[in-house]
Structure 1
Amino acid sequence: IRRGSRCSTSKAFLRPIRSRRNIHISLNSHATRILINPTTMKAFGVEFVRAGRKHVIIARKEVIMTAGAINTPQILMLSGIGPRKELNKFKIPILKELAVGENLQDHVGMGGFTFLVNKPVSIVQQRFQAFPMTMQYIMNAKGPMTTLGGVEGLAFVNTKYGNRSWPDLQFHMAPASVNSDNGARVRKVLGLTDRLYNTVYRPIANRDVFTLIPLLLRPKSRGWVRLRSKNPFVSPAINANYFDHPDDIKILVEGAKMGVRIAEAQAFKQFGPRVHRIPFPNCSKFRFGSDEYWECHIRT
């Protein structure tokens, strides 16, 4: 957050120092390999491709890997650090055998958990015109564009399955849902099928709603990232392995029930909130609101 507004990492950290003599930022560059001395096992440079040409940068002190949870293991394996079986598969010389790419974890959450309200307090696309809304934000720092990424509230809570010393569940609270743009964009971003959207969300298109999204803070399921090719421009294979551990789904089911209780709290009474009760088509065989129903909803 900068001056009350959300800003990117680039604006917050790179732009203020871009004129320093000791920093060079190479845009549109694809890192392909870490250069490692096979004798000392010390990284001494980085290989990358920019505009179709291969470049090599030699490090005087150190190389810092910050390519994220997916590309970091990919680059390490392409550099010869990883499971022997995976590297042999693509005839990559092995510098160090390590379990690179294993132990992938993700904060999976429950989507589409929607509550109807009686007051015009949520973000409904047809209610706003782009130019007036933008000017309201620029001139007065007010209006829908002041919402930080669509999330207006966060909560960190313990379920009955958690260790009381740290929360095992997080809630994102958003003043909108899948229905808020009448199916124009959000449903496509989330990959909802026509059947799911038309059955559950089209009947409440453009209605005032809010969403509670329970997310796992400490998932127990573990996935993996593996190479599909020794070509660094081929994306790796990813298996998040969601809900492989039974505790993960139990915690999110508990989160759904907690979400209903949150909406029933006294502070929300003035808005008349009630959970949207049209069931997901593939979950209609379960009683709405039962543990079995919430599990089906979450897995969908």
Structure 2
Amino acid sequence: MPFLENVTRGRGIPRERLESVAEHYLHFGGVSPINGINRDLIRAIESELAARELGVPVYFGNRNWEPFIEDTVERMRADGVRRAAVFTTSAWGGYSGCTQYQEDIARGRDAVGADAPELTKLRQYFDHPLLIEMFADAVTEAAATLPEDVRGDARLVFTAHSIPLRAASRCGPDLYERQVGYTAGLVAAAAGYREYDQVWQSRSGPPQVPWLEPDVGDHLEALAAAGTRAVIVCPVGFVADHIEVVWDLDSELADQAAAAGIAFARATTPNAQPRFARLVVDLLDEMRLGLPQARTDGPDPVPGYGCTVNGALCTAACSS
């Protein structure tokens, strides 16, 4: 509950809703998988850095739970770190996917004061070739788990965390929605699918506040009504299997599919794969060596980049 209270502070979420969500965590020992996954990823990044003979220490800071970003920046200062790159576990632009992390960086530096190290957020990576490759392979692997008689007719469904419509264009016109859709198209093409659906999940807050739709549960209900026999769900908006994946999809959505008689397969996320660690260090090399940005070309122009402003909030840059 203390973690959930931190996450939702100032958003007017009713106490009973928090208690309901807390029950999801209790199914996993009262702990989100995300910190453990992040620590595994850190070890993979350290191995990748060592393989490239880069003597760079790796630190870990959170927004809503220990280790808090403020404490991490203080530790960095005490260790003599003067300049650092910041990798965020969000591939996206928009407020929640990008600008809020810049606010975290600024808050952490402000808490430490004048001696705080310079912190530069690495760029958005929603179309990085390794990210597309990991998700495309995950879709293929998930499809292979479906019964053979329905595998060829399975519907590919991409899902990402929904956001309120009032925030959708806060950092550029529909920036987050366009980037998620762009990534979904790249992954579908790489996995060999011409048709797919893009939906949303895990909305919260008062029901009268409109969020991005359709919801993945509502979409599954529509697919069942249309006679769909199998679905592959790819949580393309998540880089790790945290609660919104392992509960909302692996539990609630999987149960809904079983009740509807639909064969269900869920593609994994990058988690702590060695390829994800390579992506992180590639972004670091782009910044420190001035290398060209690795991007996957799609049929349409890349929809907006930002988050490359040293230590500054990037609302204006995100709308470019």
Q: TM-score, normalised by structure 1?
A: 0.24
Higher helix share: 2
- Structure number with bigger Rg: 1
Q: What TM-score do you get using the length of structure 2 for normalisation?
A: 0.23
In terms of fraction of residues, the more strand-rich structure is 1
Q: Which has the higher contact order (CA 8 A, sep 6+)?
A: 2
